[in-house]
A = this chain, B = another copy of it.
Amino acid sequence: MTVEGSLTNTVGFLLGKLGQQANGQFADRLAPLGLRPRHCAVLELLAGGPRAQLELAKAVGVTPSVVVDMLDELETLDAVRRVRDTADRRRQLIELTSTGLDLRHQTLSLARQNDEELLSAIDPTEVAALRQILGRIAAATGLVEK
């Protein structure tokens, strides 16, 4: 048993450590695809329809110049297309290509594999409870658009 009154027992500390671990493992799985976790959030958003770059920046929580880089990379992979908005020629609408959609399915599958590995030590009913509680905290802190 861990020492009472220790930092290690803190939920925040555990979340930090486990989050880093989960993210690192996920990044390793994504690497062969030429993607990193950040890209997945973009693919996910674009699956809901085309978006402008600044919209993506705000939604993913990164600065616009980072979005430019990510989209350059995704374009190199033929995962997305930049199409000029005819109504406002300053904007570019980012569309998911068919290979982008396929890539998104793959990342989703990898994310599930990642979960399985991460959660292999605890039983299914607890996994469900965990997912539910984490989802509620994320929603409460506004981390995820409901």
CB pair B10–A112 under 8 Å, yes or no, is yes
CB pair A130–B127 under 8 Å, yes or no, is no
Tell me whether A20 is interfacial, beta carbon within 8 Å.
yes
Q: Assembly of this chain: how many copies?
A: 2
CB pair B40–A7 under 8 Å, yes or no, is yes
In the complex, what residues of B have CB within 8 A of residue A20's CB? 16, 19
CB pair A137–B118 under 8 Å, yes or no, is yes
In the complex, what residues of B have CB within 8 A of residue A146's CB? 1-2
In the complex, what residues of B have CB within 8 A of residue A12's CB? 22-23, 25-26, 111, 114-115, 118
- Which residues 1-60 of A have a CB within 8 angstroms of B? 1-2, 5-23, 25-26, 37, 40-41, 44
> Contacting A5 at CB < 8 Å: which of B19, B108, B118, B136?
B108
How many residues from A make CB contacts under 8 Å with B?
54
In the complex, what residues of B have CB within 8 A of residue A131's CB? 9, 11, 14
Known pairs A14-B138, A126-B133; list 17 more (Cβ under 8 Å): A6-B44, A7-B107, A10-B111, A10-B114, A10-B115, A11-B118, A13-B111, A15-B118, A17-B143, A17-B144, A18-B19, A18-B143, A19-B20, A21-B141, A121-B137, A121-B140, A121-B141
